[in-house]
Amino acid sequence: MKKYNVGILGATGAVGREMLNILEERNFPINELRLLASSRSVGKEIMFRGEAVKCQLAQKGAFKGLDFVLGAATNAIAKEFASDIVESGAVFIDNSSAFRMCDDVPLVVPEINGDDAFLNKGIIANPNCSTIITLVAVNAINKLSKIKGMNASTYQATSGAGVGGPLELENQMKAIINGGEITNEVFQYQIAENLIPQIGSFLDNGYTTEEMKMQNEGRKIMHLPELLVTCTCVRVPVVRSHSISVTVVTEDKLDIEAVKAAIANEKGCKLYDDPENKIYPMPLVTSNQDLVYVGRVRQDLLNEKGITLWCCGDQVRKGAATNAVQIAMKLAHLDEM
């Protein structure tokens, strides 16, 4: 079996470390692993397959000889090194939002449009975490009848804001219990015992940048250029796994049982839908694994062509790290094994 030289840009962050876990779990054939980070992390050792791997400085020339570079850094870092990565001959699979809407950059969810990855010119973009989870959940419906529109509300975990998010939630909960001072730095307001209906910055249309990703990225991933999406994104006091309530409107009226059967057979999905026995997706059920759990599947009461469902998925894994590794596996034809 061919082995690959793999680099991780931003290796010491939450997503970078999760990428390492996924590469190990999936037994990705690696010849050389190169961990690239900022100067403050140079020399830091991270365990991989029982061996300590030292972090190197992310700088021009650091990507020579690599086949894949998995990006787990900020937009600014991704833009800074993208051209050097491409010139080195590696494929840059980037988790930032820097290149998602570029016409010449494929935006890929392997279960939905995996073949688009082969159209790359050196860069492939990983979609937004909530977009990935939602689209994996509704992809089976789109195969039954073309989706014309979606109305979604996301309930996004604190870890979606980085490693500081859960820590801020924990510190605030301790302060509440012990009567201490509650401070917030990561989020706009106190997140403990609260919901914040803003993720991203507001646009002229009243939606946030995060909310518009569902429509803009959804159109590109699902090859539905006329898809319309109304979305509200909410930060919730949950550590891990995003949840989404979504109603899709299709061209044809669909039978609910046929929809459930299609979801149950869809790659990347798990139908988890038995309300009588209180079985439905929740963050605690879906964390630390890669499937998108789908439940509460029912007929919409406002539109006979509407289907409403509830889904949950681990946004650090399937919403970020796992999706990137799956793209690399697709390119290496490892998904066919």
Beta bridge partners of 244: 154, 311
Could you report how far apart the first and last alpha carbons of the chain are, in Å?
A: 11
**Amino acid letter, 48:** F
Residue 113 tokens read as 């449009």
Told to judge if 242 belongs to the known catalytic residues of this protein, a careful annotator would answer: yes
Asked if 191 contacts 157 with a C-beta cutoff of 8 angstroms, the reply is no
As a whole number of angstroms, the distance between CA 31 and CA 283 comes to 36
As a whole number of angstroms, the distance between CA 188 and CA 219 comes to 30
As a whole number of angstroms, the distance between CA 309 and CA 275 comes to 12
What number of CA atoms fall less than 13 Å from residue 161's CA on the CB side? 26
As a whole number of angstroms, the distance between CA 105 and CA 71 comes to 14
129, 233, 269, 312: the active-site residue: 129
Burial call 302-334: b when 16+ CB within 10 Å, e when fewer? ebebbbbbbbbbbbbbbbbbbbbbbbbbbbbeb
Told to judge if 129 belongs to the known catalytic residues of this protein, a careful annotator would answer: yes
55, 231, 233, 242: the active-site residue: 242
Mind telling me the catalytic residues? 129, 242
